[in-house]
């Protein structure tokens, strides 16, 4: 397989893992859904876990690029961007393909904190926490680290709620709570 075929394999595997989960997706299913033979797959990835890590790296890149760009499109100031992040989430939640957060799923399926998949999932959340904290700092929050943590907590809770409860409006509810936290942090 040429390098672009490897990338195609990772993209296709990402979709299967996101839809069906990591443990529930065996190599036979990946072969069937990606159209790549087991031999070719194992030429690039010695284990399914290596393929999962590659898929998570791609998902991290794709999601953060979209999420951060979308926030900047929706709002101009750091304070407005913190709140607009929940509008971006709402857009994501409304996509037909929305199945929750791949990193929450990875952390749940690979719970050993030292496992490379769990480490990769935690790194994604750490980078988002840094982003929220930096926006909070730029917005003038008294305690930007605390506000960053609070907003990440709202974001993560909104994602889980969007997956499990159809009777709520998690992005809007989280946005309203974020506004209260932001107002308090700037007062």
> Which H, E and C letters describe 42-62, residue by residue?
HHHCCCHHHHHHHHHHHHHHH
Residue 33 contacts residue 9 (beta carbons within 8 Å): no
Three-class SS state of 80: helix
Instruction: For each of the domains in the chain, give its residue range(s) and CATH number, in order of start.
Output: 3-186 (1.10.357.10)
Does the pLDDT value for residue 15 go beyond 60? Answer: yes
pTM for the model stands at 0.91
Q: Tokens standing for 130?
A: 């840094």
Each residue of 37-92: pLDDT tens digit?
888 888 888 899 999 999 999 999 999 999 999 999 999 999 999 999 999 999 99
Do 125 and 61 meet the contact criterion of CB atoms below 8 Å apart? no
* Residue keyed to tokens 């709620």: 161
CA 78 to chain centre: 21
């Amino acid at each position: 397989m040429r390098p672009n075929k490897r990338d195609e394999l990772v993209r296709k595997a990402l979709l299967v893992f996101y839809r069906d989960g990591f443990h529930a997706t065996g190599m036979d299913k990946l072969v069937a859904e990606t159209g790549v033979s087991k031999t070719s797959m194992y030429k690039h990835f010695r284990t399914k876990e290596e393929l999962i890590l590659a898929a998570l790296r791609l998902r991290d890149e794709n999601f953060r690029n979209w999420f951060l760009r979308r926030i900047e499109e929706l709002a101009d100031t750091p304070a407005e961007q913190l709140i607009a992040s929940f509008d971006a989430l709402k857009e994501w939640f409304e996509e037909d393909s929305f199945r929750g957060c791949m990193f929450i799923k990875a952390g749940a399926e690979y719970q050993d904190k030292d496992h490379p998949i769990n480490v990769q999932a935690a790194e994604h959340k750490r980078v988002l926490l840094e982003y929220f904290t930096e926006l909070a700092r730029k917005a003038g929050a008294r305690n930007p680290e605390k506000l960053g943590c609070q907003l990440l907590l709202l974001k993560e809770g909104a994602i889980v709620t969007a997956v499990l409860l159809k009777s709520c409006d998690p992005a809007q509810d989280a946005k309203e709570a974020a506004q209260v936290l932001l107002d308090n942090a700037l007062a």
